[in-house]
Structure 1
Amino acid sequence: MRTSPPVEIARQLSSACEVIERNLAGTLQAIHLFGSAVDGGLKLYSDIDLLVTINGPLAESVQRSLMMDLLSVSAWPGTSEAYRALEVTVIVREEVVPWRYPPMREFQFGEWLREQLGTGIIQSAIPDHDLAILLTTVRQRSVCLVGTPASELFDPVPKESFVKALSDTTAQWNEESDWQGDERNVVLALARIWFSISTGEIAPKDVAASWVLERLPHEYRAVLMVAQAAYLGTVRDDLAGRTKQVASFVCYAKAMIERICASY
């Protein structure tokens, strides 16, 4: 695990932190870098993942200003030499300390929201079970860019909440329309969930995929191998044309995850 940000994203991180600190002056408690930039190394199309913690809910005008300013220091994966895609999750600390499930997410910024933001649509605060996984990740592996280290700022997420979050995430993928156009990410997400529910740890996507491949029946291996290699940038992602194979993998991986969840 890295203890400092990668040099290649230092300028973008500095710009992003400046935007966040300017918009959230007086309420900002911490900014933590996590994900590929810290654990396993940035891949070709990796996002820069930031968790921003504040001390109270934000006015819509502040949210809007922050989101629009973040657009200027982020870019869709592979479209800019200067910027990677930012994924910024904002939480109010009192919504997660003391812990409760599901926790509330104040709002989130990501390149997939660029079109919505352009039309003035701002997402409101919502319960987000994924925060149980995110906070576990941040406590295990993150770099504190501003404020207090995550291990001091947040309580550990209880195991039962972590397991439930993995189960709830798995439950959202039920039919082809749920992963169509996002096959690689869903296949790799299921591999990570299978790894995490089995080991209690969180690993980079390619590492989790290797672990699952060692345990995967032969008929399901091709889909995960393509997803892993495409993530690493060594093959073209053709999973959109493997409709039946992807569906079979999703069905099998879900069944394995649900079986393990039932044992807790």
Structure 2
Amino acid sequence: MTALPQQIIPQVSSVQAVLKSHLGRNLRAIHLFGSAVDGGLKPGSDIDLMVSITDPLPEPVRRALMTDLLAHSAWPGSSDTLRALEVTVVALGEIVPWRYPPRREMQFGEWLREDIEAGRFEPAMVDYDLAILITKLRRHSSALLGPAAAELFEEVPRSDFRRSLLDTIAQWNEEPDWLGEERNILLALARIWFSACTGDIVSKDVAAAWAAQRLPPTCRSLMERAAAAYLGGGEDEPAWGRMPVAETIHFCKGEIERALKRAQ
């Protein structure tokens, strides 16, 4: 098991306790992935956890777990002791043996805080991004509980990995689709573009630097600003609306679609 970064050990330990309390014998594995085990934590990095359970979540458990996780997570840059959590819960019977599209039982993230506090909870749903997450887990992750990811999850076929990239970008078409999430979506597109061209998965800042070199001049500085905000861990850019966000997003989407078509 990869050693945890010292600064997140208390938070990860408290989150593990919450998961064990709510999931009990249904809990099969907890995997840490993302920047904490691959590339190093940045000021704005989340703590990414994949939680595997044996049986689907009863609705009362889903609601109680999401509510309790609020106390163990904070928006990037808003706390001296807590990072933002991104916790994905999957029922193993839904993804082993592997099939596409995959389904998740629950996802927790800071972008859902207002909804959770208001009593609005996402149900279990299809999640195309799981094909990407499981690929990442099998390559770079740390098993905090249970077997290694490469033992627990089957390898995602290349065709399904490419399908997930296309299905993910299909959700970003018009301004309401990215309003308030400009930075995260720009960085996500950079990573997807890199993966579409190379088949590999890299950190947000590495992908953003790679994408910036391939963007037209009008869009390049926007991607660089998104990466700088992520690396600095500060607030999102207050003036995204005056920047070529739509142009950059649609340019990236077009390049991704062309790269995936060539890969077929």
Other-structure match for 1:136: 135
CA distance in 1, matches of 2:240, 2:75: 23
Distance 1:79 1:220, change over 3 A: closer
Q: Which amino acid aligns with 1:148?
A: P
Distance 1:238 1:72, change over 3 A: closer
Distance 1:241 1:209, change over 3 A: closer
Between the aligned residues of both structures, percent identity stands at 54
Q: TM-score, normalised by structure 2?
A: 0.94
Deviations 1:46-67 (Å, cap 9, x if unpaired)? 2111000000112112222222
Structure 2: which 5+ runs fail to align? none
Distance 1:243 1:175, change over 3 A: farther
Which 4+ stretches in 1 moved above 6 angstroms? Answer: none
Other-structure match for 1:16: 15
Q: Per-residue deviation at 1:212?
A: 1.9
CA distance in 2, matches of 1:239, 1:36: 26
Distance 1:134 1:245, change over 3 A: same
Other-structure match for 1:34: 33
Q: Is the 8 A contact 2:43 2:231 kept in 1?
A: yes
Q: Which amino acid aligns with 2:106?
A: F
Q: Which amino acid aligns with 1:30?
A: A
CA distance in 1, matches of 2:117, 2:251: 39
Distance 1:138 1:179, change over 3 A: same
- Which of 53-62 and 212-221 deviates more? 212-221
Other-structure match for 2:220: 221
Q: Is the 8 A contact 2:212 2:221 kept in 1?
A: no
Distance 1:84 1:234, change over 3 A: closer
CA distance in 2, matches of 1:114, 1:89: 15
Aligned residues: 263
Distance 1:111 1:205, change over 3 A: same
Deviations 1:27-62 (Å, cap 9, x if unpaired)? 111000111111222222221110000001121122
CA distance in 1, matches of 2:148, 2:233: 35
CA distance in 2, matches of 1:246, 1:122: 30
- What's the C-alpha RMSD, in Å, of the aligned pairs? 1.8
Please say if 1:105 is aligned against 2:126.
no
Q: TM-score, normalised by structure 1?
A: 0.94
